[in-house]
A and B are shown apart, each in its own frame.
Chain A
Amino acid sequence: MFIDLRVHSLNSKGVDSPARLLEEAASLGIRLGLCDGIAYDNALSGVEIKAESKRALIKALRTSWRNFDYVVVHGGEAKINRAATQDTRVDILAHPYLGRRDAGVDVVVARQAAQSGVAIEVDLQSIISAKGVARVRQLQKVHRILLLSRKYGFNIVVTSGAKSRYELRGMKEAEAILTSIGFTAKEAKRALEEVPREILEKKKLAKQEIARGVRLVED
Chain B
Amino acid sequence: MRKRYIAFRVESDRSFTRDEVVRAIVSSALAMFGEAKVAEFNLFVLDFDEAEQQGFVVCSHRGVTEAIASLSLVSEISGERVHIRTLGVSGTVKALKRKFLNRKRHFINAESTVKFKGKEFVVVRESGDCCDALPCDEELIKRLKLRKMRFIGVTKSDLRGEEDAADA
- Do the two shown chains form a genuine complex with each other? yes
C-alpha spacing A153/B143, complex, angstroms: 38
On whether the beta carbons of A166 and B72 are closer than 8 Å, the reply is no
On whether the beta carbons of B65 and A16 are closer than 8 Å, the reply is no
For B, the interface residue count at a CB cutoff of 8 angstroms equals 33
On whether the beta carbons of B83 and A16 are closer than 8 Å, the reply is no
CB contact under 8 A between A17 and B85, given known A163-B147, A164-B149: no
Q: Mark A17-60, 1 if CB is under 8 A from B, else 0.
A: 10111011000100000000000000000000000000000000
CB contact under 8 A between A180 and B152, given known A15-B143, A15-B144, A172-B68: no
On whether the beta carbons of A17 and B72 are closer than 8 Å, the reply is no
Query: B52: which A residues are within 8 A, CB to CB?
Result: none
Interface SS, B side: mixed
CB contact under 8 A between A170 and B86, given known A10-B117, A17-B116, A176-B72: yes
C-alpha spacing A180/B48, complex, angstroms: 25
Q: Is A177 an interface residue (CB 8 A)?
A: yes
On whether the beta carbons of B153 and A165 are closer than 8 Å, the reply is yes
Q: Mark B86-117, 1 if CB is under 8 A from A, else 0.
A: 10000000000000000000000000000011
On whether the beta carbons of A166 and B155 are closer than 8 Å, the reply is no
C-alpha spacing A127/B70, complex, angstroms: 12
A6 to chain B, nearest CB (A): 16
B66 to chain A, nearest CB (A): 6
For A, the interface residue count at a CB cutoff of 8 angstroms equals 33
Q: Is A209 an interface residue (CB 8 A)?
A: no
Q: Is A169 an interface residue (CB 8 A)?
A: yes
CB contact under 8 A between A20 and B65, given known A10-B117, A165-B153: no
Q: Is B12 an interface residue (CB 8 A)?
A: yes
Q: Is A173 an interface residue (CB 8 A)?
A: yes
C-alpha spacing A167/B149, complex, angstroms: 11
On whether the beta carbons of B11 and A180 are closer than 8 Å, the reply is no
Q: Mark A121-154, 1 if CB is under 8 A from B, else 0.
A: 0000001110110010000000000000000000
On whether the beta carbons of B66 and A180 are closer than 8 Å, the reply is yes
B19 to chain A, nearest CB (A): 20
Query: Interface residues, chain A, CB within 8 Å of chain B?
Result: 10, 13, 15-17, 19-21, 23-24, 28, 127-129, 131-132, 135, 163-170, 172-177, 179-180
Q: List 21 A-B contacts (CB under 8 A).
A: A15-B152, A16-B154, A19-B155, A19-B158, A20-B130, A20-B154, A23-B129, A129-B75, A165-B153, A166-B12, A172-B68, A173-B69, A173-B72, A173-B85, A174-B72, A176-B69, A177-B72, A179-B65, A179-B69, A180-B32, A180-B66
Known: A10-B117, A15-B149, A17-B158. 16 other contacts (CB 8 A): A17-B152, A17-B153, A17-B155, A23-B155, A128-B72, A165-B153, A167-B83, A167-B147, A169-B72, A170-B85, A172-B86, A176-B65, A176-B66, A179-B65, A180-B65, A180-B66
